Amino acid sequence: MKRKLLGAFLSTAMVASLVVGCGGGNDSAATDAPAETETPAEDAAEDATPAEDTATEGAEAPAAGGGKIGISMPTQSLERWNRDGAYLDEQFKAAGFETILTYSDDKTEQQVNDIQNMLADGVDMLVIAAIDGNALNTALEGAAEQNIPVISYDRLILNDAASYYVSFDNYTVGQLQGEYIVEALDLANAGDKTYNIEITAGDPADNNATYFYQGAIDAIQPYLDNGALNIVSGQKDFDAVATPGWKTDTALARAQNVLSSYYADGTQLDAWLCSNDSTALGVTQAVTSDYAGSNTVVITGQDGDEANLKNIVDGVQTMTVYKNVSNESIVTLALAKAILAGETIDESLIPSFGIECAFDTESYETSAGNKCPSFLLVPNVITKDNLQDLVDTGLYTMGDDGYLSAAN
């Protein structure tokens, strides 16, 4: 199989410079693998039968100039990744790139397979939201051998072959959730009163999950320390409150368990810190059906999924941390273009994005301990009171019933 190497406009030197990234530029990614050599990964990928629920688009269309981009999203079962996939695909196509878009049904082996197929298909760059940040080594070795740059999209890939990271400030997401609870319960003025809280965190395989968790815990810790807040179940450690796969049903089952074990006696529950909307969906369901108290429980979330926005209108979820993933795709496209053009990748690119974000070279590390240069966008708190802000983005419409729908 002959693969095209970034079109005619990239010299080998440029390729070597563009893969300097999370690995610090001294890894195998910077070696000059011959462009026409087939790798074992390619052989394997060529032989592999495409996974049944892999949606592949555009693979046959001629490159319109920019090259071919492989966009690997984790799953279609959670609302946001459908939006991310669609926006990325749209952005890259509009900019003249050919795209291959896959969703891997939250199965790591399938994601490895999907990425290997993209490499076999001659992609010039990979944009990957990893299901498991630690599980893509086989696929990324293939990318490194072929000098294919990899943008870790939203979730950090812990392999050094990843080149750059585009995400939101994940620690801040958690901090906004924790601070919201502090203010909603007015914990600074709690006096002798103790408020009760429970926590539901994300998927241990997702590098973001511990950032969300830690940001939130740091915000509420002073009140756990001074007794204004109490975790009645005692379940606070990340491992105790994590939700594998970010699954709504798993969050629901644990919340029901906590409610029946610790709140059935009439103990008041004041807040439930949830790291995102899919987990908040399970928790709100449990609180609505299984919580005996009549007070409103403050429940946090993240993403602005339609079902959660409805729950916010209905008053059963209190807030969500909104991340404009259309903007995330715009930043990703601009970064991809800069990488492919061999430009210097640093904060000087930000004005050209036209989107507020920070260039961070300290916060995110690969498993080898190398810092991954990151562009981090800014998340916002959405409550019942500022839903109009979402409508103003042009990405949502509000129906006569007051509920929001994602605009297509």
| Binding footprint of ligand BGC on the chain (CB under 6 A) | 78, 80, 154-155, 206, 208, 246, 276, 278, 302-303, 323
Shortest distance, position 48 Cβ to ligand BGC, whole Å = 26
Return d(Cα 155, Cα 386) in angstroms, integer: 27
Give the pairing type, strands 396-398 and 404-406. Answer: antiparallel
Give the pairing type, strands 150-153 and 164-168. Answer: parallel
- Tell me if 183 sits within 8 A of 165, measured CB to CB: no
Burial class of residue 140, CB neighbours in 10 A (0-12, 13-18, 19+): buried
Shortest distance, position 67 Cβ to ligand BGC, whole Å = 27
Shortest distance, position 70 Cβ to ligand BGC, whole Å = 19
Residue closer to ligand BGC (CB basis): 276 or 317? 276
Q: Virtual CA dihedral for 271, 276, 279, 283, nearest 10 degrees? A: 20
Structure tokens at 11: 């010299």
Alpha helices in 164-318 (DSSP H): 170-184, 207-225, 238-241, 248-258, 277-290, 306-314
Return d(Cα 94, Cα 296) in angstroms, integer: 46
Shortest distance, position 155 Cβ to ligand BGC, whole Å = 5
Shortest distance, position 29 Cβ to ligand BGC, whole Å = 24
Return d(Cα 299, Cα 283) in angstroms, integer: 8
Burial class of residue 308, CB neighbours in 10 A (0-12, 13-18, 19+): buried
Q: For the chain, give the longest Cα–Cα distance.
A: 72
Residue closer to ligand BGC (CB basis): 144 or 325? 325
Residue nearest ligand BGC by beta-carbon distance: 276
Residue closer to ligand BGC (CB basis): 3 or 155? 155
Shortest distance, position 154 Cβ to ligand BGC, whole Å = 5
Residue closer to ligand BGC (CB basis): 141 or 389? 389
Shortest distance, position 302 Cβ to ligand BGC, whole Å = 5
Beta strands across the sheet bearing 150-153:
97-103, 67-73, 125-128, 150-153, 164-168, 374-377, 357-360
